[in-house]
Structure 1
């Protein structure tokens, strides 16, 4: 059953008060600014699920931001989101806090909670960390993967081709996630994949923008096929190199995507030690 606001729940504290220190009250004119309608995400949440509602709301909002349904600068309020999902503000507040930590929302004094622009530097940092983890995972997987697990990856790759043929980028991205997750499953270390979920948030936003023009689906599928071929040969070195090349593809697309969508990106801040080489 949907959870309505209840007296048993502590009085709502705005997320602004938890995450920032505003200098005084918001101006009435700012509060009266028109707000863009939020996409209907109610189907993303199930009250029959054993998963906490706050986690489901977090994932629904994150995916909507990744998919561009909420562009940078889109304002969000606890009330709007809680009304949408017909829940109290507490799980929404928890989801907002997690989204701020992930780097896709920001809280600004006098302006409230907004969808954040993409940081090119954070994209490169996320890719660097993801590469370190996933190349280690795929090396182990090359030595431990079973025939059944290889078949699962092969089936996934087949479905990727079907998604590409029908130009279904949403399905392709879901299969891409499952492909990488399946490699972590091959060494019974799904925690490795879970660890990089928040780290790669900025990468995922760029991936949505880059498909299919800048990073053609066929190219990504060929890269996945090389990873799978190396795993089939149980060649740890080849598997690591194939994974490294695959994860560095985003460095090729980042510049063109930022140039095409300047309103989506923050000004770049180069690293003191380049992470892209």
Structure 2
């Protein structure tokens, strides 16, 4: 009886492993994301890489790098347009969440990974924020900078939660900005820990609220009505765009 039970357990275990391995159809965009970030081996990468990724054929994937860790991976699609699908990937390891973005295109009826991006700030920015956080009595300018850096170093999920909790305040900034009431705008930006509000000539109906910027890196929110032309998420410039609330988007530039 004991031997029979053991055999049943092994069969069930093998079946469950097989189901897990077949969770996504081979060659599908979801399968590619799973293979790159979650699989301990991606031997067929030469068939599923394109563009700049061809330079990384000899480099390990994220899944291969983390095969000995207890990392948890969550991913979801945030853009599907023509022959392109983009995914946001949340990697949780050592109680820390790291955001990646995966860009997939279809070439000759085959889905391929075009690029991988990560919004990685220089270490000194985190050090400055930690130093400010440890000040016993920070001055008002230090408090403002600390708030800005706190937002700048947040992960995507934290920023989306922040926008959800402050949507009325951000809507007020847009209202005052459109009426050229600059003093009111500056005051409200400071309270929210943001750096600037502006429009981009390429997207004239969008109002961008910049949290902070460092060299070519930028994080913030933008407001757009239903008829607005908004930026396209791609490996160049706007590496991440996700709708958070009606009319409101989180963006990252790199």
Query: TM-score, normalised on structure 2?
Result: 0.29
Q: Which structure is higher in strand share?
A: 2
Q: Which structure is higher in helix share?
A: 1
Larger radius of gyration: 2
Instruction: Considering Cα pairs closer than 8 Å and 6+ residues apart, tell me whether 1 or 2 has the greater RCO.
Output: 1
